[in-house]
Chain A
Amino acid sequence: MPAGTLYRGREGMWSWVAHRVTGVLIFFFLFAHVLDTALVRVSPQAYDSVIATYKTPLVNLMEYGLTAAILFHALNGLRVVAVDFWAKGPKYQKQMLWTVVGVWVVLMAGAFYPILQHTLRTWFGG
């Protein structure tokens, strides 16, 4: 592999890539979300009709994906703060990344039913 193709690889670079990708995704969602919420100034019907799309199975699944992106960005952001402000942060940055990944996996597993319950109950009753 020619030098320059990969910056440094491993935990440091890939967490930076993931932080950047999730950040951009969240920013574009934020635009859409402020616009859809602004419909409360138009009429209750206009707002409720756009919220109905948030309750469709595909968009409900995208909410779970958005939560995954936000949760990673939040946890890894705290790690970045620790790397910058904690004297031992740079030394433990790898351990902190795997802690972030571990906490993320546990919280995402816990959020699976609560976030997708609307779709699951529509499909399977209850």
Chain B
Amino acid sequence: MATETTDTLVVPSAQAHTGQGLGTGNPADAFVIEPARTRTKKTPRRTRTNFEMLAWLFMRLSGVVLVVLILGHLLINIVLDGGVSKISFAFVAGKWASPFWQGWDLLMLWLAMLHGANGMRTVINDYAEKDSTRLWLKLLLGAATVFTVLLGTLVIFTFDPNI
């Protein structure tokens, strides 16, 4: 029986992005979850910016840099030279006496926080179904991110070894 089971419209695969159906012509499509961020009638045909594409590109570029920064950070702080045993205020003071490590940590802080915040934004968009829940979670995320980035930046720039 090839009767309609839902109001999902079957469209050719070339039009699958319109959200009017999955386009394979298979009646079982009615039970399959639609692709994420499917274009709907409400989706503007043109947006002012390429924000989502830039965010996608940023994740890849920052990710590659973070592999070097974070694995280097782990290697020096908790793998080599006795592991975590050596970490103390004096160890931090020794590292931040060098502009190289100050710059390393500053770049790592900014890239990791922005990479992580954008990842969390994606997770919130995927799982929080209510508009208001998404809004509040993203506002909280934004506030926490700005606070943490500014705090960390302030700490690196105002560090005083003779405190």
Contacts and interface: CB of A to CB of B under 8 A. Distances in A.
Interface of A: 2-4, 7, 20, 23-24, 26-27, 30-31, 34-35, 37-38, 40-41, 43-44, 47-48, 51, 54-55, 60, 63, 67, 70-71, 74, 77-78, 80-81, 84-85, 111, 114-118, 121
10 contacts: A26-B116, A30-B112, A38-B151, A38-B155, A44-B89, A51-B87, A74-B63, A77-B67, A116-B83, A118-B82
Given A23-B116, A24-B123, A118 B85 contact: yes
Contacts of B90: 44
Given A70-B74, A115-B79, 9 more contacts: A23-B119, A24-B119, A27-B116, A38-B152, A40-B93, A70-B70, A77-B64, A78-B64, A114-B83
A28 to B, nearest CB: 9
A20 B122 CA distance: 10
B93 to A, nearest CB: 8
A63 B84 contact: yes
Interface string B59-90: 01001101100110010001110111101111
A46 to B, nearest CB: 9
A3 B31 CA distance: 6
Nearest to A27: B116
Interface string B104-119: 0000010011001101
Nearest to A45: B89
Nearest to B151: A38
Nearest to B108: A30
A67 B78 CA distance: 10
Contacts of A31: 144, 148
The B contact surface, by secondary structure, is helix
B82 A117 contact: yes
Contacts of A26: 116
Interface residues of B, number: 43
Contacts of B82: 117-118
B155 A40 contact: yes
The A contact surface, by secondary structure, is helix
Contacts of B67: 74, 77-78
A17 to B, nearest CB: 12
Contacts of A43: 163
A40 B159 contact: yes
Contact of B83 (A41, A80, A117): A117
Contacts of B71: 70-71, 74
Nearest to A74: B67
Contacts of B1: none
Contact of B155 (A20, A41, A60): A41
B55 interface: no
